[in-house]
Structure 1
Amino acid sequence: MEADTYDFGVAWEGLYGYSQALRAGDTLYISGQLSHDEAGVFLGAGDFAVQTSTTFANLDRVLKHYGAARTQIVETTVLVRDLRQHFDTLARLHREYFGEHRPTSTVMGVSDLALPDQLVEIGAVVRLDLRP
């Protein structure tokens, strides 16, 4: 089996040495996504809801590349600065993103993330062999 990787082409992929996603067989592992535009410019400084929505949009970009659907996501890992302050907003946006689909999810409060203004990061595991 060969691994297939996907990158956005943003600077930090090469600097840190990682891919946005790696497909191994029918499993897709998606790195923690964050709030940035297609050029890699960070968006939503100080606005947790904007950052979370943009982060989910970047997750959708990865899914689209692989022809996958949100309903094929089996697990999310969510890292949040100031979790107590942002949990209700996170819960609402996570529920809205997935609708009736309910993947497993681990939510962790963290003291810091990669970028100075970053408040949230969301990674996922996708099973491409599940019916969308």
Structure 2
Amino acid sequence: MDDRNTMSNAHQVESFGVPWEESYGYVQAVKRGDTIYLSGQVAHNGTELVAPAPVNDAGLVTDFANTGEQLRQCYANAAELLQRFGASLDDVVEEVIYAVDVDAADAAAGPVRKEAYGRPDPQVASTMIGTPRLAFRELLVEVKFIARV
């Protein structure tokens, strides 16, 4: 592990190394004591967006059908980050889903969340919030997590 990502046993940070971390100025995850805070996870694999939504000339999303696929990638990215701390989605105690279209996100969230957490009744406090847009216009959802280990 690289020295800039580990400050001490009580404080550890992790990043993906994507350009927007540096341009915006943040890390993907911070561990303080027994709590891991994950920044909002979006649907990307490296620098490529996963299942980007189509947008019109005005930059508005024209189809929300990729919401489930994007949500699935958010959980995959969170799982990868948590693993770096020796944790998993089983350790998540709270999540907040930010959705450009709440109806589409609500329809996708149940099945995707149950699959991600590996149980029919995920043991996590969950909130969904509608938002007019996210960091990239092609994004439909973003999920923020807090885990305890």
TM-score, length-normalised on structure 1? 0.90
Q: In the aligned structure 2, how far is the partner of 1:17 from the partner of 1:78?
A: 22
Higher-Rg structure is: 2
Counterparts of 1:78-93 in structure 2 under 5 Å? 78-93=97-112
Q: Which residue pairs with 1:43 in the alignment?
A: 50
Larger CA deviation: 25-34 vs 99-108: 99-108
For 2:76, the equivalent position in structure 1 comes to 57
Deviation (angstroms), 1:60 = 0.9
SS in 2 for 1:112: coil
* 1:119 maps to amino acid: L
Displacement of 1:79: 0.3
Gaps of at least 5 residues in structure 1 are none
Q: Specify the alignment match of 2:143 in structure 1.
A: 122
Measured in 2, the distance between the counterparts of 1:8 and 1:112 equals 22
- 2:87 paired with 1:74: no
Give the Cα separation in 1 of the matches to 2:134 and 2:117.
24
Q: Which moved more, 1:95-104 or 1:106-115?
A: 95-104
Aligned alpha-carbon RMSD (Å):
1.3
Distance in 1 separating the partners of 2:126 and 2:35: 17
Work out the number of aligned pairs and report it: 127
Say which SS state the counterpart of residue 91 (structure 1) adopts: helix
How many percent identity over aligned positions? 30
